Amino acid sequence: MKTINKINKLVWFLLLGLLVFASSCVKDDNYDSPASVIPSFTLAPGDTLITIQQLKAIFPTGNLYTIKNNYVIRGIVTGNDEFGNIYKSLYIQDSTAGIVLSINYTNLYNEYKQGQVLYVKCKGMVMADYGGTPQLGAVYQGGAGQLPGVYMSAHFFNDGRPGAVPAPKVIDASGLDSTNLSMLVRFDSCSFVDAGQTYVANNLTTERSLTIKGGATVIVRTSNYAAFKNTIMPSGKGTVIGMLSVYDGAYQLVIRNINDVFGFIAPIAEANFITDPLAWAAPNTWTTQDVNGAQVWSFDTYKYMKVSGYSGANFANEDWLISPSYTTVNTTTAILSFNHAANFGSPSTQLHLMISTNYNGTNFATANWTELTVPNWPSGTNWTFINSGDIDLSSYLGQSNIHIAFKYTSTTSSSSTWEVKGLSIRR
């Protein structure tokens, strides 16, 4: 009997212990959340805080410099790899300048978000020149390379939570200089030369041209990993924001995400000549009038319209390429521009831009045609495409039937070759 009582007591104590253990495992929703840690950076004794501009001045572009001083720079992250168009790099800037941090690491945006204040301990890093754009990184095969990812924690220090990204600096052609390299910049009233095409072609990193105020052209370079690579570039004029760089003398712009392109107003008319415009259906049909000579306007597979009076010898020609009908009703401005190249002959006397308000598609000989002044003609010594410059059509506002024509002439002693693409009439 005593043995049974002892066993009962033992069972009772075991059950009591299990109940206590189980109650201790019940989820308590009232526990305190762990305090979030806000990163903070303090300058160490012996460190010297300098501006990005001062860093660039100490280590000028053109060479490789291993930084041996305890220099520290402070910047705000303006560009990272979140949307795929920036690769293994961070852009930071302060009130004086911007710089690229080249890092052999991906998904940097998880740690270094736009608007994050970032301190960089520069000692041991390499100040280098990559195609003309200064960057902080390491040496790779004797040139500018990426800082190995394992060293990031020794050089990069967040301070506080991410805040506002600095407002982009508004510039035009006059702002294409070294002082704005790696800065977040903004171009207003600019236009894509290849509007209507995707940012990336053939799934390969692609360079597109952006015409900015002042007539200069900036290369928009888009990676085939960019989230917006298949987005169509807008027509007309608008605003584009991005990181400014230069490579071998050509200024480039890296768009961070598709929201950096906005405010574009569709043009009155455009003709990129991506496909043969003479084969289009109405109302987009372009037509030709061959007044004299056997040579005619034709579509080139390199995606422009072309005419030449030379075919083994110079021939006399007069050939017209005439646009569909356009309207300027209910618009307050109309600016015409196009891109063209010309070689040989005398482009400024053999090539003409014409306009008519009473051509109806059949009355070519009796319609009134007026020659327009083209600001920029090709030199006639190479095949380089240039922009015509802006041609003001304000005298033709309120018209319901406007035709633009490219008139080509040549003689038996002189004949140019004229190539035309990218026509636009902007509001």
pLDDT digits over 302-323, tens only? Answer: 889 999 999 999 999 999 999 9
- 215 pLDDT tier (thresholds 50, 70, 90): confident
- What single letter denotes the amino acid at residue 168? P
pLDDT (0 to 100) of residue 3: 45
Cα gap 371→350, rounded to integer Å = 13
**Contact assessment for residue 265 and residue 238, using Cβ atoms and an 8 Å cutoff:** yes
> Would residue 153 be called left, alpha or beta, if left means φ above 0 and alpha means ψ between -120 and 50 degrees?
alpha
What is the average pLDDT value for the chain, to the nearest integer? 90
Q: In sequence order, what are the residues at sequence separation of 6 or more whose Cβ sits closer than 8 angstroms to the Cβ of residue 150? A: none
Residue 23 in this model has a pLDDT that exceeds 60? no
What is the spatial distance between Cα 401 and Cα 337, in angstroms, rounded to a whole number? 18
Which domains does the chain possess? 48-159 (2.40.50.200), 169-264 (2.40.50), 269-426 (2.60.120.200)
Reported as a single tens digit per residue, the pLDDT across 233-261 is 998 889 999 999 999 999 999 999 999 99
End-to-end CA distance of the chain: 107
* Residue length of the chain: 427
Q: Among the ranges 151-155, 268-272, 326-330, which has the highest mean pLDDT value?
A: 151-155
Across 44-72, average pLDDT: 93
Report the predicted TM-score, pTM, of the whole model to 2 decimal places. Answer: 0.66
The answer to whether the beta carbons of residues 86 and 80 sit under 8 Å apart is: yes
> 25-45, pLDDT tens digit by residue?
444 455 555 667 899 999 999
